[in-house]
Structures are given as C-alpha cells and as structure tokens.
Amino acid sequence: MTALVDPFQRAIRYLRVSVTDRCDFRCAYCMSENMTFLPKADLLSLEELDRMCSTFVELGVEKLRITGGEPLVRKGIMTFFHAMSRHLQTGALKELTVTTNGSQLGRYAQELAACGVRRINVSLDTLDPKKFAEITRWGRLPQVLEGIVAAKAAGLRVKINTVALKGFNEDELFSLLDWCAREDHDLTFIEVMPMGDMGGTDRLEQYWPLRDLRARLAERFTLTDLAERTGGPARYVRLEETGQKIGFITPLTHNFCESCNRVRLTCTGELYMCLGQEDVADLRAPLRASADNMALEQAIRAAIARKPKGHDFDYSRQKITGQMTRHMSHTGG
C-alpha cells in the first residue's frame, strides 16, 4: 500500500490522536475555566478510534501519541490501548505513547506498560503546590507527583513537558532542572501557543521566548546541540555538567515545520494537517458511511495532499498573528 506523502515530500509517520476533549484540569493556557464540552454522541466510539488509527497504521503511520483533553479520563480507554498493542506486536507500529497531566497515572501506569507503552509525556509547569493549583485551576500537585512515581515503578520513561510562562515559572527554571536530574526525567520546554480565547488572558503577557530561557541555561551550563529527533518538533541539547537532555519546542522563535511528519486527529474524527492552520478534513463521515475502509483511506489521502508547508504563528510585532480560535484541548496539543 502506498505510504502517505504530503506535497512537500514529507512522509507522514506520526499521528496524534485526541480521544476526548474533556479534562479534570482547566490549565489557564489550554482552556477556559467554564468549558462547554462536546456531547458524547459526537465523539468517535472506542471501536471507531481503533478502526481509524488502524487505517493510518496500514498507511504507514509508525508512531501514535494518545492525547486529550486528558486521555485517561475517557471511560474505557484502556480497551483502546489494549487494541492498539496488537500493532506493536506485529511491528507495524513502532511506538505507542501518551501525553497526560498525570492525574490518573496512579490507576493506569501498570496497565499502560502492559499494553506496550514505554514512554509518556507528563505536563507539569511548576513544583509549587499553590502555583500548580493556580495554573491548573482544579489540579492537585501531590496526585500528579504520585502518578509520576507510579509510572517510574511501572518501567515507563517519563518526560516532563513544561510550558514556559513569563512571570509564572521563570523563577523555577533551575529548580525544575534539578528535580528532573534527581528523578532521571527528561525535560522539554514549550513556548506558549496562540490557541483559543482564554477569557481575557493576554498571550503576550504569558509569552517567554525559549531563546531567553536557553540563554539563562547557558550562563550556568555548557550546552551541546544534539542531532537527535524523536519524531516530534523538539530540538535537544545536552547540559555537559549534568549529562541531562533538555528539549525545546519553539513554534514561535524557531519554526520547525520543514521536518513536520505528523497530523492530528480529534475525538470527533476531524483531521488537522497543521496545528497552526484552520484547514480540517472530516474523516468521521467516510468512516461511518461504509463498513469497508476504502472511502476513509481516500479521505485520508486527500487530506494529506492539502498539508501546508507550515503554520503562521507570529509574536514578533508585539501583537499576535496567526492565532487559532480553537482551544489546545480540542486538537490534542
């Protein structure tokens, strides 16, 4: 079967799948406090998610990242992970992984490992319980830290994803580094992206360019750029004094689109070919129109043929351009 290749000769090997728009947190840069969630009838069933993802795997996707909202709050979600594990067993799928807020890891870490998950990303922006409650609105830091301990005990490699927020966690840069070094977690910093209406929150007030963060690291450490890629947008450095690997995801200060090999599927069957563009393809209709996958495969190929060269995010002129109207929780990060 012919692999998925976009108009710029990038082979699509990586699918991010949002299995729910719901979350047990309300992180201030991700969603508004009073969210209106989708009716459950609009969501793809777990069986439909299986069929959709399996079709992508047949078309050459080798990495599946399961996201949300918070993916582990979806009722029955482990049924889906068990179903996807068959593709790991055949070798068609090289990696099955999860991005989570960590709140449910205490319940599910062992089962995720049993399904073949080897690495997880945990979103964590502060180690201060009071600030954590502030930024997540509903979250409790001890529950997340306990979940991370459970993940390590289950043999999962944990990567911490920290959104760089000016005036919020700038003062925790080195304490986060030290904690990750002690716990043997990888750490990736992410620039805040202009996604969704935050009810008055000014994105420019939140925006901490990672070039500034990197410069602060360079005052204390020797930074060596690494050629390593994990299939996502991060660029990595090694801190020579500690041996730590630090990632930077910089959609704004450094456009990483030239190597983009991924697309995003929402929990309603919408395919976004680019996080920073509004163009979307409806895959739910062809999925439900026929018991075979011919129409679905054609719709996927037609969508990939529209994948743009890159996004339009821009903060450089002291105003936000390219802002997306949808929340991050809708697309799954």
Q: Which residues are annotated as a binding site?
A: 16, 23, 27, 29-30, 65, 69, 99, 123, 159, 193, 257, 260, 262-264, 274
- Check residue 275 and report its DSSP letter: T
Annotated binding site for S-adenosyl-L-methionine: 29, 69, 123, 193
The closest alpha carbon to 15, from 87, 95, 80, 91, belongs to: 95
Q: Where are the alpha helices (DSSP H) in the chain?
A: 46-58, 77-90, 105-114, 129-136, 141-153, 173-183, 203-206, 210-220, 284-289, 294-304, 328-331
Annotated binding site for [4Fe-4S] cluster: 23, 27, 30, 257, 260, 274
| Cα(201)–Cα(73) distance, integer angstroms | 27
- Cβ–Cβ under 8 Å, residues 78 and 47: no
Cα 86 to the chain's mean position, in Å? Answer: 23
Query: 21: phi > 0 → left, psi -120 to 50 → alpha, else beta; which?
Result: alpha
Annotated binding site for GTP: 16, 65, 99, 159, 262-264
